[in-house]
Amino acid sequence: MNTEATPSVVTTTRLGRVLLVTINHPPVNALSVDVRRGLLAAVQEADADASVAAVLIVGAGRAFIAGADIREFGKPSMAPSLPEVCSRLEACRKPVVVAIHGPALGGGLEVALSAHYRLAMPDARLGLPEVLLGLLPGAGGTQRAPRLMGVKPALEMMLSGRHQGAGEALTLGLVDRLGEGPDVLAAGLAYAGELVASGAGVRPTREADAALADKPASQAALDALKADTAKKTAGLFSPLKIIEAVQGALDLPFDEAVALERQLFLQCLDSPQRAGLIHAFFAEREVAKSPETRNATPRAIDSVGVIGGGTMGAGIAVAVLNAGLPVTMVERDDAALARGRANVEKVYDGIVAKGRMTPEVRAAVMARFSGSTSYDALARADLVIEAVFEEMGVKKAVFAELDRVCKPGAVLATNTSYLDIDEIAASVSRPQDVVGLHFFSPAHIMKLLEIVVPAQVSADVVATAFELAKKLKKVPVRAGVCDGFIGNRMLAVYRATADHMLEDGASPYQIDAAAREFGYPMGPFQVADLAGGDIGWATRKRKAATRDPEARYVQIADRLCERGWFGQKTGRGYYLYPKGARVGIPDDEVLAIIEAERQRAGTTPRPFSNQDIMRRYLAAMVNEGARVVAEGIALRPLDVDVTLVHGYGFPRFRGGPMKYADTVGLPTILADIQAFAREDPLFWQPAPLLLQLIEEGRDFDSLNKP
Ligand code: 3H9
What integer pLDDT is reported at residue 7 of this predicted model? 63
Which atom of ligand 1 lies at the shortest distance from residue 285's CA? 48
- Kindly indicate the confidence band of residue 519, based on its pLDDT and cuts at 50, 70 and 90: very high
Residues 315 and 453 in one domain: yes
Runs of H (alpha helix) within 379-523: 392-405, 421-426, 459-471, 487-504, 508-518
Pair (612, 668) in one structural domain: yes
pLDDT (tens digit per residue) in 159-206: 999 999 999 999 999 999 999 988 999 999 999 999 999 999 999 999
CATH value at residue 128:
3.90.226.10
- Residue 487's pLDDT is what? 96
Same domain, 455 and 500: no
CATH of the domain at 561: 1.10.1040.50
User: Residue 557 falls within a domain, yes or no?
Assistant: yes
Q: Is residue 206 part of a domain?
A: yes
Same structural domain, 90 and 170: yes
Question: Is 358 a domain residue?
Answer: yes
Q: Provide the residue range defining the domain that includes 661.
A: 487-703
Is the predicted pLDDT of residue 3 greater than 80, yes or no? no
Question: Is 291 part of a structural domain of the chain?
Answer: no
The answer as to whether 589 is a domain residue is yes
Exposed, middle or buried: residue 390 (CB in 10 Å: 0-12, 13-18, 19+)? middle
pLDDT tens column, 394-422:
999 999 999 999 999 999 999 998 899 99
- Which residue among 28, 78, 267 has the greatest number of ligand 1 atoms within 8 angstroms of its CB, and so is best to mutate? 28
**Confidence label for 5 from pLDDT (cuts 50, 70 and 90):** very low
Residue 537 pLDDT greater than 70, yes or no: yes
Q: Is the C-beta atom of 139 inside 6 A of ligand 1? A: yes
Residue bearing the bigger pLDDT, 320 or 4: 320
The H or E element containing residue 100 is strand 96-100
277 within a domain of the structure (yes/no): no
Angle between helices 334-353 and 311-322 (to 10 degrees): 50
Q: Cα 623–625–630 angle (5° rounding)? A: 100
| Same domain assignment for residues 625 and 491 | yes
Q: Is residue 178 within 8 Å of 170, Cβ to Cβ?
A: yes
Spatial CB neighbours of 23, under 8 Å, sequence gap ≥ 6 = 9, 10, 29, 35, 38, 39, 57, 58, 59, 60, 64, 65
User: Which CATH number goes with the domain that contains 315?
Assistant: 3.40.50.720
Q: Are residues 532 and 677 in the same domain?
A: yes
- In the predicted structure, residue 70 carries a pLDDT above the cut 80: yes
What separation in Å is there between the alpha carbon of 307 and the centre of ligand 1? 38
Of 445, 479, 513, the domain-final residue: 479
Position in ligand 1 atom list of the atom nearest CA 132: 36
Q: Is the pTM of this model over 0.75?
A: yes
Helix axes 657-664, 272-286, angle to 10 degrees: 140
User: What is the per-residue burial (b if ≥16 Cβ within 10 Å, else e) of 679-689?
Assistant: eeeebbebbeb
| Average pLDDT over every residue of 504-512 | 98
Burial (0-12, 13-18, 19+ Cβ within 10 Å), 108? buried
In a 13 Å sphere around the CA of 606, the CA atoms on its Cβ side amount to 9
Is 275 part of any domain?
A: no
Instruction: Give 517-553 as a DSSP string.
Output: HHT-SS-HHHHHHHH-HHHHHHHHHHHGGGS-TTS--
Whether residue 14 lies inside any domain: the answer is yes
Regarding the beta carbon of 30 and ligand 1, being less than 6 Å apart is answered yes
Q: What is the pLDDT of residues 334-387, one digit of tens each?
A: 999 999 999 999 999 999 999 999 999 999 999 999 999 999 999 999 999 999
End residue of a domain, out of 458, 479, 500 = 479
pLDDT digits (tens, 9 = 90+) for 284-316: 999 999 999 998 999 999 999 999 999 999 999
Protein residue whose Cα sits closest to atom 32 of ligand 1: 285
Confidence class for position 319, pLDDT limits 50, 70, 90: very high
What number of other Cβ atoms are within 10 A of residue 441's Cβ? 16
Nearest atom (ligand 1) to Cα of 281: 18
**Are 467 and 515 found together in one domain?**
no
Identify how many contiguous H helices and E strands the chain contains and give both numbers.
Answer: 29, 19
For residue 245, is pLDDT > 90?
A: yes
What tens digit of pLDDT does each residue of 427-463 get? 999 999 999 999 998 999 999 999 999 999 999 999 9
The verdict on the CB of residue 133 being under 6 Å from ligand 1 is: yes
* Residue 390 pLDDT level (bands cut at 50, 70, 90): confident
pLDDT of residue 542: 84
Instruction: Note whether 621 and 651 are same-domain residues.
Output: yes
Nearest CA among 601, 621, 622 for reference residue 504: 601
Q: Do 497 and 644 belong together in one domain? A: yes
At residue 117, the pLDDT reads 98
Among 479, 510, 529, which residue terminates a domain? 479
pLDDT digits (tens, 9 = 90+) for 623-643: 999 999 999 999 999 999 999
Span from the CA of 309 to the centroid of ligand 1 (angstroms): 38
Q: Does 211 score more than 80 pLDDT? A: yes
Residue 183 Cα to ligand 1 midpoint, Å, equals 23
User: Read out DSSP for 169-209?
Assistant: HHHTTS-SEE--SS-HHHHHHHHHHHHHHTT-----GGG--
Q: Which residues are catalytic?
A: 110, 130
- Give the residue, by CA position, lying nearest to ligand 1 atom 6: 138
Do residue 446 and residue 366 come from a single domain? yes
Q: How far is the CA of 324 from the centre of ligand 1 (A)?
A: 26
- Residue 1: pLDDT band by 50, 70, 90 thresholds? very low
Average pLDDT, whole number, for the chain? 96
Tell me how far apart the alpha carbons of residues 526 and 544 are, in angstroms, rounded to a whole number.
Answer: 24
pLDDT higher than threshold 90 for residue 531: no
Same domain for 31 and 118, yes or no, is yes
Q: Are residues 14 and 52 in the same domain?
A: yes
Write a three-state SS string for 282-351: HHHHHCCCCHHHHHCCCCCCCCEEEECCCHHHHHHHHHHHHCCCCEEEECCCHHHHHHHHHHHHHHHHHH
Residue 141, CA atoms < 13 Å, CB-side half-sphere: 35
The type of residue at 380 is R
Tell me the three state secondary structure of residue 119. Answer: strand
Q: Confidence class of residue 267 from pLDDT cuts 50, 70 and 90?
A: very high
Mutate to test the pocket of ligand 1, among 33, 70, 100, 143 (most ligand atoms within 8 A of CB): 70
Structural domain count of the chain: 3
Residue 6: the pLDDT is 53
67 lines ligand 1 (CB under 6 A): yes
Cβ neighbours around 236 below 10 Å, total: 18
**C-alpha 284 to ligand 1 mean position (Å):** 12
